[in-house]
Amino acid sequence: MINRINQIREAKKLSGREFAAIIGSKPNTFNQQINSKRSVSYETVQNILSTFEDISSEWLLRGEGDMLKAIPHISYVTGRPYYNVDFIGGFDLILNDQTINPDYNIDFAPYNKDGVMWCNITGHSMEPEINSGDILAIKEVPEWDQFIVLDDVYAIVTKNELRTVKRVKKGSNDDKYLLVPTNPDYSAQEIGKEMIYKVFSVLGCMKRL
């Protein structure tokens, strides 16, 4: 990890003293850690990641991947399709309309997988985990009635054409799910499995590009 910290410092063109000051560490303490006279502390790692938000935690901690985080961008060649449609407003309907094309693709390495699509989301029930105006990376779960991972977030379409994004937990019996909001101002609600038409796994979210 020491070598990777030095790579960050060199990439930012900072001296050891300047680097320590920016991350809020005492110069002597930081110098001892970099020179292997003491272990790199958890606080130092956290300070580096919070100060330099473009640095990948996977790379810093384990040396996996690239030093810089993947940055999402608009593409017309690579990535996965983005539809400028609100999920709550009927995103699933456009999937059955062959005349509607995506507005563009979003190229973001963690989500460049088969079946993934991007759409808008409004509403406040999942804040601050998912904010109104964010865009969602979702993927349909075709056999949701046989198995889904509980405690994950899903976008659900009901047979009476209602749509919601909630964390799904076990219901009061095997025929029901409990839909749980993140925002404490909203209440959890049970839904019978027979009322569900489609389920999409919410893989991630971000602010609109």
Return d(Cα 174, Cα 198) in angstroms, integer.
18
Q: Does domain 2-62 have CATH number 1.10.260.40?
A: yes
Answer whether 182's CB lies under 8 Å from 130's CB. yes
Which residues of the chain does CATH 2.10.109.10 include?
73-207
Instruction: Say how far apart CA 205 and CA 108 lie, in whole Å.
Output: 11
Contacts of 87 (CB under 8 A, 6+ apart): 119, 120, 121, 136, 138, 155, 163, 165, 200
pLDDT above 70 coverage of the chain, percent? 100
The token duo for 47 is 């300070």
User: pLDDT digits over 128-176, tens only?
Assistant: 999 999 999 999 999 999 999 999 999 999 999 999 999 999 999 999 9
- Range name among 8-12, 49-53, 68-72, 191-195 with the lowest pLDDT average: 68-72
Query: Is the separation of the CB atoms in 169 and 152 below 8 Å?
Result: no
pTM exceeding 0.85: no
Which option is the CATH number for 73-207: 2.10.109.10, 3.40.50.1980, 3.40.1010.10, 3.30.450.20? 2.10.109.10
178 contacts 166 by C-beta, under 8 angstroms: no
Q: Shortest CA distance to 166 belongs to which of 140, 206, 200, 133?
A: 200
Q: What is the pLDDT of residue 81?
A: 97
